[in-house]
């Protein structure tokens, strides 16, 4: 059953919360030891006690929120009150926060039962989920392969039916990439739709965004309805325009899709990826979404370098407090040290210049969306690789100059502040999953989800791995 159907069954008391939660815990017991997707799992007795309390609440005629009784495992980059939050780092291996992230608080208020966390790479850096606290998360389709990241634990738990719906977060593809590599949907919302925080700094660090992951578009809309909306302590957030789940009742009426592909050869892409995406776009035509090739007149290398600078200024600067402590610095992985040391070399004019390039890209996107309803390109430039390889050093014969260069394809939506949806496109001849991004105009989140639902209806295979 879908998350939407499960939530309805609980509200109508066709299914008890205890029955539902126990079934998911049984599934976790059976599957999680094979893939290491869920970490910091609470004691079963404590979870079932909370489930029983939820059933008693319903029996007394109490109200039920939209996620009432659904078991939720929160990505381990988000704070969960009273539950260990490690950020995938030995520095925080035993950290138990006393407050929730804003969206976690909203999940609790909507009746979700938080059962544990989903695994992440250290501080969310990189698209391969491994760390020195819990170890690696393995791909839902092949345990020899990476799950992607940084929402790798969430994607695998979702694909293997250990949770009904999942949260992820995305700066440079961290939600989209693992969704693609585990045959599920993942949605990076428009900048500001889901409020971030609480945080020490709320104005500069605004390119990392929380969003939903699901085995269906409607399941993601269910969670997004809870996550989204203005929060006074997140001043760059904004009110959601209405219910996304209800909005899906009005189907998409087709549209024009601009296909970026590999940007005319600018992006190195593993053979087979473009073929899968183009076949998916062919199916999309069944829903009256017609594709045209698109190559904007833009300096994409300059755009990537702007992304690198802005990421260092944000992520690297945030990690400097740990770098400054010699004992903690020794616990940082090399990619974290690289981010910090490069951030320390940045100047204010460099950061402003990067923001100017980003602004120019935003203007370019707005002009493109005057002619196209969606822009499409692969979600990843490579298929899932060996889990023991931290990151690809070469793609299609080209050397990668940083730990995240091979994910350049994810930067375009991030820098534009656009909603970006990963949709599954199928498998290569080795059985490795892949996905494609559908990018919409800023604040056009519902239109992107409607298009995703139209695409979902054309899929000839089941989403997920179970």
Q: For the chain, first and last CA: distance in Å?
A: 12
Question: Residue 245's closest CA among 219, 264, 266, 211?
Answer: 219
Please report where in the chains the tokens 């293997």 appear, as a residue: 160
Percent of the chain's residues with pLDDT above 90: 98
Within a domain: 217: yes
Within a domain: 461: no
Mean pLDDT check: name the lowest of 162-166, 206-210, 308-312, 388-392. 206-210
Q: Which residues are catalytic?
A: 75, 150, 174
Per-residue pLDDT reduced to its tens digit, 412-443:
999 999 999 999 999 999 999 999 999 999 99
Q: Is the pLDDT of residue 210 over 90?
A: yes
Quote the pLDDT of residue 271.
Answer: 98
pLDDT grade for 232, boundaries at 50, 70 and 90: very high
Quote the pLDDT of residue 434.
Answer: 99
Region for residue 460 given its phi and psi (left: phi exceeds 0; alpha: psi -120 to 50; beta: otherwise): alpha
Within a domain: 177: yes
What is the tally of structural domains in the chain?
Answer: 1
Within a domain: 465: no
Task: List Cα–Cα distances, 419 to 19, 68, 370, 437, 439, in angstroms.
Answer: 36, 27, 16, 10, 6
Question: Residue 219's closest CA among 79, 96, 70?
Answer: 70
Per-residue pLDDT reduced to its tens digit, 379-400:
999 999 999 999 999 999 999 9
Question: Residue 316's closest CA among 205, 199, 168, 172?
Answer: 205
pLDDT grade for 12, boundaries at 50, 70 and 90: very high
Per-residue pLDDT reduced to its tens digit, 266-278:
999 999 999 999 9
Please report where in the chains the tokens 């889901």 appear, as a residue: 194
Six-digit token string for 392: 């690809």
Please report where in the chains the tokens 């829903």 appear, as a residue: 287
Per-residue pLDDT reduced to its tens digit, 139-171:
999 999 999 999 999 999 999 999 999 999 999
Q: Residues 6 or more apart from 141 whose CB is under 8 A from it? A: 159, 182, 183, 384, 427, 431, 432, 433, 465
Quote the pLDDT of residue 441.
Answer: 98
Question: Residue 107's closest CA among 80, 47, 67?
Answer: 67
Within a domain: 296: yes
Whether this prediction's pTM lies above 0.95 is answered by: yes
Q: Is the pLDDT of residue 248 over 90?
A: yes
Within a domain: 370: yes
* Gap between the Cα atoms of 336 and 196, Å rounded: 21
CATH number at residue 63: 3.90.1300.10
Per-residue pLDDT averaged across 449-453, rounded? Answer: 99
Dihedral (CA of 286, 382, 373, 265) sign: negative
Domain that holds residue 166: 3-456
* Strand order across the beta sheet in which 255-259 lies: 166-170, 209-214, 185-188, 420-427, 433-439, 374-378, 255-259, 289-293
Q: Is the pLDDT of residue 205 over 90?
A: no
pLDDT grade for 203, boundaries at 50, 70 and 90: confident
Find the angle CA(31)-CA(35)-CA(40) to the nearest 5 degrees.
Answer: 85
Percent of the chain's residues with pLDDT above 70: 100
Tell me the average pLDDT of the chain: 98
Within a domain: 466: no
Contact 406, 398 (CB under 8 A): no
Contact 291, 461 (CB under 8 A): no
Within a domain: 462: no
Contact 128, 148 (CB under 8 A): yes
Per-residue pLDDT averaged across 207-230, rounded? Answer: 98
Six-digit token string for 382: 């490579």
């Amino acid at each position: 059953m879908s998350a939407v159907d499960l939530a309805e069954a609980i509200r109508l008391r066709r299914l008890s919360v205890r029955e539902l939660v126990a079934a998911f815990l049984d599934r976790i017991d059976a599957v999680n030891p094979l893939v290491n997707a869920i970490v910091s799992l609470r004691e079963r007795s404590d979870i079932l006690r909370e489930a029983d309390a939820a059933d008693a609440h319903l029996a007394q005629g109490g109200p039920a929120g939209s996620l009432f009784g659904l078991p939720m495992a929160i990505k381990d980059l988000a704070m969960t009150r009273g539950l260990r939050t490690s950020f995938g780092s030995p520095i925080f291996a035993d950290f138990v926060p006393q407050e929730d992230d804003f969206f976690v608080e909203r999940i609790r208020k909507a009746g979700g039962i938080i059962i544990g966390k989903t695994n992440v790479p250290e501080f969310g850096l990189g698209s391969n989920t491994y760390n020195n606290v819990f170890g690696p998360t393995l791909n839902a389709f092949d345990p020899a392969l990476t799950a992607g990241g940084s929402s790798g634990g969430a994607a695998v738990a979702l694909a293997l039916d250990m949770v009904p719906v999942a949260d992820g977060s995305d700066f440079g593809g961290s939600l989209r990439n693992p969704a693609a590599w585990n045959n599920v949907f993942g949605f990076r919302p428009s900048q500001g739709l889901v409020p971030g925080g609480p945080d020490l700094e709320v104005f500069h660090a605004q390119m990392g965004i929380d969003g939903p992951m699901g085995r269906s578009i409607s399941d993601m809309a269910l969670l997004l309805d809870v996550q989204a909306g203005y929060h006074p302590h997140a001043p760059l957030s904004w009110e959601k325009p209405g219910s996304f789940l209800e909005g899906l009742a009005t189907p998409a009426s087709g549209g024009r899709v601009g296909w970026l592909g590999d940007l005319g050869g600018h992006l190195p892409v593993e053979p087979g990826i473009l073929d899968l995406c183009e076949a998916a776009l062919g199916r999309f035509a069944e829903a009256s979404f017609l594709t045209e090739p698109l190559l904007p007149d833009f300096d994409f290398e300059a755009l990537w370098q702007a992304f690198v600078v802005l990421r260092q200024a944000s992520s690297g600067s945030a990690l400097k407090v740990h770098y400054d402590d010699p004992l903690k610095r020794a616990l940082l992985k090399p990619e974290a040290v690289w981010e910090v040391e490069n951030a320390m070399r940045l100047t204010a004019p460099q950061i402003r210049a990067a923001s100017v390039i980003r602004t120019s890209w935003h203007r370019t996107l707005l002009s493109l969306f005057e002619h196209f309803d969606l822009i499409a390109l692969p979600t990843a430039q490579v298929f899932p690789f060996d889990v023991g390889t931290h990151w690809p050093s070469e793609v299609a014969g080209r050397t990668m100059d940083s730990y995240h260069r091979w994910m350049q394809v994810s930067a375009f939506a991030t820098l534009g502040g656009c909603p970006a949806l990963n949709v599954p496109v199928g498998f290569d001849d080795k059985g490795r999953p892949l996905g494609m991004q559908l990018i919409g105009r800023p604040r056009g989140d519902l239109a992107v989800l409607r298009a995703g639902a139209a695409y979902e209806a054309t899929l000839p295979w089941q989403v997920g791995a179970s």
